[in-house]
Amino acid sequence: MMKLSAPIFQLKRQARLLAREKSIALHEALDTIAQREGLATWSHLASAYSKDSPAIRLYRTIRPGSLVLIAARPGQGKTLMGLELALIAMKGGHKSVFFTLEYTQQECLERFKSIGQEVEPFGSLFTFDGSDDLCADYIIRAHPNPTAGTMMVVDYLQLLDQRRENADLSTQVNLLHSYARDFGVVLVFLSQIDRSYDPTTKPCPEFSDLRLPNPLDLELFQCGCFLHGSEMQIVSR
């Protein structure tokens, strides 16, 4: 199998940019990107490479009852990877929840389409939650008895720390760490990277490059996935 010029999540981003630039349908842009990679259509590309996609590689490292971090600068594919993890979980029969204040439900559904998947066939396995009340207490109240294997994606970590009336970030993440462990769910946090990160000095950011206005025990995360350009680094603990 020939090597792609970039990971699939980066090629999908290129397709979205091309669709906007050329005012064409996303599926046409995806096919155009696939043809640049030497395949006839996007479905051929996805089929050929999906067995070892970055999201699948990350999913294989995740243990039930743990916290996971996906961190990158804007536009590097962390949201798409979070949604792909949700899809992988649903394909395995598990529920998935996507918490975000960044996207509307319709925009979220469009993102799923951009990775070649409709969520309608999964029915009640998928839940979109765009509540302004997003915090640890809200997550636990909204899902008081989740089934083991449920995948919860939080877009993004720093949002938990933005409302003064909420507990500090460290308290919230500790609470969610206990919640994940007790119920066997997986909580995936998308995270911002500090502006001081310099890709010319290292290909991928690290835990030390997270943008954290307040202290947080990073040992609470079972693993971190760091993205930049065509690079991906998974750090397991």
Q: How much is the pLDDT for 5?
A: 83
Residue 157 lies in a domain: yes
Dihedral over Cα of 5, 38, 33, 50: its sign: negative
Residue 3 lies in a domain: no
Residue type, 18: L
Q: What is the pLDDT of residues 58-98, one digit of tens each?
A: 999 999 999 999 999 998 989 989 999 999 999 999 999 99
Residue 109 lies in a domain: yes
Pair 182, 218 in one domain = yes
Q: How much is the pLDDT for 16?
A: 87
Can you give the residue range of the structural domain that contains 224?
Answer: 53-236
Residue 200 lies in a domain: yes
Report which of residues 31 and 114 the model is more confident about: 31
Quickly tell me which residue has 């949604």 as its tokens. 83
Pair 90, 148 in one domain = yes
Share of the chain above pLDDT 90, in %: 70
Q: What is the pLDDT of residues 142-190, one digit of tens each?
A: 999 999 999 999 999 999 988 888 999 999 999 999 999 999 999 999 9
Range 212-237 average pLDDT = 92
Pair 25, 63 in one domain = no
Token digits of residue 112: 């799923």
Whose CA is closest to 213, among 176, 161, 135, 165?
Answer: 161
CATH of the domain at 184: 3.40.50.300
Q: How much is the pLDDT for 2?
A: 58
Angle between helices 8-22 and 26-36 (to 10 degrees): 120
Pair 32, 66 in one domain = no
Distance CA 164, CA 155 (A): 19
Pair 88, 124 in one domain = yes
* Assessment of whether the complete model's pTM goes beyond 0.85: no
Pair 28, 64 in one domain = no
- What total of structural domains would you count in the chain? 2
